[in-house]
Structure 1
Amino acid sequence: MSQTFDTPDISLDTAQRETEEFLTVQMPSTLSAVEYDMPRFSEEPNRQTLAHITRSRVDVRHVTGTPDAAYLVSAFGEDLLMTVQLNVRRFVVVYSVPVTLPIGSSTIAPHFERWATGAQHAGWMIGWRDTAAPREPDQHWVETYCYANLEPDFLVNDLHKLYWRTDILQMTRYFMLEGIRAGVPLSPMNAGYRI
């Protein structure tokens, strides 16, 4: 039995505008909270908002009209290159880790097994692949692909957007922390890569 979904009636222009907004405004703002200062229990409660205590920096690269954006997330003393692709009802989040051969996906993936299990429980499908930069063939990467299908009304439903932004934030935070815990260098610049 096939399942039918009510698809919201939105124009192509609206869908493209919502995609741009999500990729270039909402995601960078969300990713800026990958690292933040948490007050100690011994400190007096304060009324600071997340905007006042974020410690992450996010650089964005995006070409208007495309369904993806690249982010360089600087947090925890590391830089992580990631891409978010939004195709109306589907996400692909890609984390790119610089490597030196013969290190590859089969070497890196086991260090992130606990992280992958958590992401899969949240509904993400996880995959790994080895790749080289098209214009820099000496640059080798392990890319972690995270796939998720979205609700049919994702582009016009603020609660769905909040859920997925928060989920990507948590997934990114713990990807970085797991890499640091395992001693896996994440920063392309530390590897001498031009990005």
Structure 2
Amino acid sequence: MRRLIANEEVTLNGMAGDPHLWPNHQTPDYVADQAATLAGEAELLFGRVTYEMMHSAWANQTPPTPISEVMTRARKYVVSGTQTLPAWNNTALLSGDPLRHVHDLKASAGPDLVLLGSLTLLQGLLDAGLVDELHLSVHPLLRGEGPALPLSRALNVFTLTSHRAYEGGMARVVLTRPVDA
């Protein structure tokens, strides 16, 4: 069974909306760790809004960057009730019941699934017990507005499995749901 890894960027006080607008605290070692999450054979999962933002940012970079190449090459699944998505290599639309689609994807053969952003989708996946790992990139700032990281009773079963602090002030925290939870 595949794992579902939710990869989120948050502030010290748990705000998670529009991280592309935040001050940049990323250092080369952080970027390398973040790239490792996307590298390899993982497939990507998005809600529609995040997919459109990622498509806009990465699909047509000239010259291509290592991240844009990974994003374009990877198999992508988009949960959406609309049928109009910008075309991007290797993208499949999942319409209908998103929890059923993700459950079926996890049960199928293949590499791990990585959810990027997509806070509304994350809330449902957490509540349904479908998230196996939560990777939080914590930015050294406080924000008073915007959406927060979803809170779910399901988070009570997650345990801290690793953490790392970076020179630029960022930290990466990995929380894992026990297999029997």
Please classify the TM superposition score into its range, dividing by the shorter chain length: under 0.3
RCO higher in structure (CA 8 A, sep ≥6):
2
Based on CA coordinates, which of the two structures has the bigger radius of gyration? 1
